[in-house]
């Protein structure tokens, strides 16, 4: 123990290195090991002399700080094996002290990588390396407790389908999967704690999900997400609009095309001006008017209060359908025929993924903002930051970082016993890997504020 507050190293005075402008660019602390004895093996140990290891440590100035450690090496004369001196203060990968690893990992979970790097005076690549390492350790056997209403959906991110499982009632994402192949999904479902607690399973119109639901949650009511159902009517409307556009001439083509989103809005959500404009546009071609009307009528079915009313309205909707637009609504009829029972289950269990649909846009926004996270980092960071997987006290400690400024390392040192849980991340009860999911509202707020 010494001024560095590391138990197993003896530190000499720090060497402060300055650049040509007189600013501190680096600090080096020469260290030697204390109290080491040679390891034992089958034969006599021969000393191979000392080597030097440079590892990052908490910064002493607002500049990178390195411990330059002289450590010993041996060779067993019996079997020829080589041994390096064990360094209890140094992380097993030997590029940082354990305490800096802990500090940086907490900061990397809590704030943008760039901020964490600046604060600890380390490069972003260092922050990412530490983060990937802690994420692997903490999420290796991540699992979540079954929510009462479990929703699954595909999201597109960076042009790839991702799979999201969420707690619909609470608006929490429970898992983000890189792919959506059946094996990956099965691996996940196998890990759900207390699957019998799932009462409602929300999904889109994708057969494999329905089969998986039956298998894993046999007592749950399967509900096709209303969002996906009504979306079909919007798509049909869009088709009608495209077809009509081909037949229009001159200015009318642009008038319609520039206002294509207007056709997708609900009538009651439009302002008076919007309604006037839309009325003018649909007057250009009867098919626009019919398409819009039948789209609206379809949405209305899902606003009704009972399953019986909705089923009757659906029958009427089909019977009254004008032949001019019938072809464009074909896929609705087909899907309603195929999925009808599960679609109308919505009237018994009114759950929809409205909250999670925002999430689609959210991931797109993140992509645009160029946070620089890979998909696995994005997932890991969100789960670790919000999912109750890291002791709250550890994360709270680092909320004070900025206000404490440069003196932080020294100030914090006596209060942190950071290594205890890192040495034993799994305490046998699985506490650390049982997550509570990502509260979407909070995530959105943090993203928008640049705090993620
Ligand atoms: Zn040996």
Q: Render 361-421 in DSSP notation, one character per residue.
A: HHHHHHHHHT----HHHHHHHHHHHHSS-S-HHHHHHGGGHHHHGGGHHHHHGGG--THHH
Determine contact, residues 71/51, Cβ cutoff 8 Å. yes
Q: Residue 81 Cα, ligand 1 centroid: separation in angstroms?
A: 6
Which residue has 């319609």 as its token pair? 256
Q: Residue 47 Cα, ligand 1 centroid: separation in angstroms?
A: 13
Tokens of 117: 């790097």
Phi, psi of 425 (to 5 degrees): -65, -30
Q: Residue 45 Cα, ligand 1 centroid: separation in angstroms?
A: 8
Spell out the residues 6+ positions from residue 334 whose beta carbon is closer than 8 angstroms to its own: none
For residue 70, the SS3 value is strand
Alpha-carbon torsion 247, 249, 255, 257, what sign? positive
For residue 62, the SS3 value is coil
CA angle 169, 172, 178 (to 5 degrees): 130
Spell out the residues 6+ positions from residue 350 whose beta carbon is closer than 8 angstroms to its own: none
Q: Residue 46 Cα, ligand 1 centroid: separation in angstroms?
A: 11
> What DSSP element (H or E) covers 359?
helix 354-369
Residue 416: per-residue pLDDT = 42
Alpha-carbon torsion 435, 226, 302, 342, what sign? negative
Q: How far apart are CA 131 and CA 340, in angstroms?
A: 46
Q: Residue 34 Cα, ligand 1 centroid: separation in angstroms?
A: 24
Residue 422: per-residue pLDDT = 38
Q: Residue 401 Cα, ligand 1 centroid: separation in angstroms?
A: 48
Q: Residue 7 Cα, ligand 1 centroid: separation in angstroms?
A: 29
Determine contact, residues 388/144, Cβ cutoff 8 Å. no
pLDDT in 10s for each residue of the chain, 452 residues: 578 889 899 999 999 999 999 999 999 999 999 877 888 999 999 999 999 999 999 998 889 999 999 999 999 999 999 999 999 999 999 999 999 999 999 999 988 898 899 999 999 999 999 999 999 988 988 888 899 999 988 877 667 778 889 899 988 999 988 887 888 889 889 889 899 999 999 998 888 888 999 999 999 999 998 988 999 999 999 999 999 999 999 899 999 999 999 999 999 999 999 999 999 999 999 999 999 999 999 999 999 999 999 999 999 999 999 999 999 999 999 999 999 999 999 999 998 876 666 666 666 666 555 567 888 898 999 999 998 787 766 766 554 443 334 344 444 444 443 433 333 333 433 344 677 788 888 888 888 787 88
Q: Residue 42 Cα, ligand 1 centroid: separation in angstroms?
A: 4
Q: Residue 74 Cα, ligand 1 centroid: separation in angstroms?
A: 11
Q: Residue 317 Cα, ligand 1 centroid: separation in angstroms?
A: 84
Determine contact, residues 101/130, Cβ cutoff 8 Å. yes
Q: Residue 427 Cα, ligand 1 centroid: separation in angstroms?
A: 34
CA end-to-end span of the chain: 37
Determine contact, residues 437/389, Cβ cutoff 8 Å. no
Break the chain into its structural domains and give their ranges: 1-90, 143-224+353-387+436-448, 226-347
Its pTM stands at 0.79
Q: Residue 97 Cα, ligand 1 centroid: separation in angstroms?
A: 29
Residue 448: per-residue pLDDT = 78
Phi, psi of 281 (to 5 degrees): -70, -45
Q: Helix 375-386 vs helix 124-139: angle between axes, to the nearest 10 degrees? A: 70
Residue 340 to residues 216, 332, 334, 337, 344: CA-CA distances in angstroms?
A: 22, 10, 9, 5, 6
Determine contact, residues 47/72, Cβ cutoff 8 Å. yes
Residue 302: per-residue pLDDT = 96
Cα radius of gyration (the chain): 30
DSSP states of 158-173: TTEEEEEEEETTTTEE
Q: Residue 83 Cα, ligand 1 centroid: separation in angstroms?
A: 10
* Beta bridge mates, 110: none
Residue 405: per-residue pLDDT = 40
Q: Residue 96 Cα, ligand 1 centroid: separation in angstroms?
A: 29
Region 143-224+353-387+436-448: CATH code: 3.30.420.10
Alpha-carbon torsion 314, 315, 320, 324, what sign? positive
CA angle 376, 379, 383 (to 5 degrees): 140
Q: How far apart are CA 144 and CA 191, in angstroms?
A: 8
For residue 252, the SS3 value is helix
Phi, psi of 193 (to 5 degrees): -80, 135
Q: Residue 82 Cα, ligand 1 centroid: separation in angstroms?
A: 9
Alpha-helical segments (H) within 77-152: 98-110, 113-120, 124-139
Q: Residue 30 Cα, ligand 1 centroid: separation in angstroms?
A: 32
Q: How far apart are CA 377 and CA 373, in angstroms?
A: 6
Q: Residue 75 Cα, ligand 1 centroid: separation in angstroms?
A: 8
Which residue has 């999912």 as its token pair? 387
Determine contact, residues 176/379, Cβ cutoff 8 Å. yes
Q: Residue 8 Cα, ligand 1 centroid: separation in angstroms?
A: 26
Q: Residue 33 Cα, ligand 1 centroid: separation in angstroms?
A: 23
Residue 396: per-residue pLDDT = 63
Q: Residue 73 Cα, ligand 1 centroid: separation in angstroms?
A: 14
Determine contact, residues 103/418, Cβ cutoff 8 Å. yes
Q: Residue 331 Cα, ligand 1 centroid: separation in angstroms?
A: 73
Residue 1: per-residue pLDDT = 57
Tokens of 391: 């002791």
Which residue has 């100035």 as its token pair? 61
């Amino acid at each position: 123990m010494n001024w560095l507050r590391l138990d197993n190293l003896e530190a000499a005075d720090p060497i402060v290195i300055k650049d040509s402008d007189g600013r501190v660019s680096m600090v080096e602390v020469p260290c030697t090991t204390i109290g080491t004895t040679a390891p034992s093996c089958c034969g006599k140990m021969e000393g191979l002399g000392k080597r030097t290891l440079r590892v990052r440590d908490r910064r002493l100035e607002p500049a990178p700080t390195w411990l330059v450690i002289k450590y010993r090496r041996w060779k067993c004369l019996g079997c020829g094996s080589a041994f390096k001196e064990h360094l209890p203060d140094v992380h097993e990968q030997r590029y940082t002290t354990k305490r800096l690893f802990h500090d940086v990992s907490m900061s990397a979970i809590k704030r943008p990588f760039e901020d964490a790097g600046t604060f600890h005076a380390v490069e972003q690549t260092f922050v990412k390396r530490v983060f990937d390492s802690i994420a692997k350790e903490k999420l290796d056997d991540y699992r979540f407790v079954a929510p009462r209403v479990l929703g699954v959906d595909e999201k597109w991110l960076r042009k790839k389908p991702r799979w999201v499982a969420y707690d619909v009632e609470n608006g929490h994402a429970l898992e983000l999967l890189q792919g959506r192949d059946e094996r990956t999904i099965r691996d996940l479902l196998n890990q759900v704690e207390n699957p019998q607690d799932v009462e409602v399973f929300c999904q889109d119109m994708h057969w494999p999900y329905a089969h998986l639901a039956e298998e894993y949650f046999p007592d749950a009511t399967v509900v096709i997400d209303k969002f996906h159902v009504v979306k079909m009517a919007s798509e049909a409307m869009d088709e009608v609009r495209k077809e009509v556009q081909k037949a229009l001439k001159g200015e009318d083509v642009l008038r319609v095309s520039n206002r294509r989103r207007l056709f997708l809005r609900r009538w009651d959500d439009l302002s008076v001006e919007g309604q006037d404009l839309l009325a003018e546009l649909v007057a250009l071609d009867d098919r626009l008017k019919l398409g819009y009307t039948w789209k609206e009528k379809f949405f209305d079915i899902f606003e009704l209060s009972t399953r019986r009313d909705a089923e009757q309205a659906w029958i009427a909707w089909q019977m009254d359908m004008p032949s001019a637009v019938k072809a464009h609504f074909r896929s609705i009829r087909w899907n309603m025929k195929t999925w009808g029972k599960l679609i109308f289950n919505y009237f018994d269990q009114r759950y929809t993924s409205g909250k999670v649909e925002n999430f689609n846009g959210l991931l797109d926004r993140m992509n645009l903002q160029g946070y620089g996270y890979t998909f696995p980092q994005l997932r890991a960071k969100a789960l670790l930051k919000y999912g109750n997987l890291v002791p709250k006290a550890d994360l709270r400690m680092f909320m004070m970082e900025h206000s404490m400024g440069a003196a932080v390392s020294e100030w914090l040192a006596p209060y942190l016993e950071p290594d205890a849980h890192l040495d034993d991340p799994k305490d046998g009860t699985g506490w650390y890997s049982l997550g509570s999911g990502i509260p979407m509202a909070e995530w959105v707020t943090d993203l928008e504020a640049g705090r993620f």
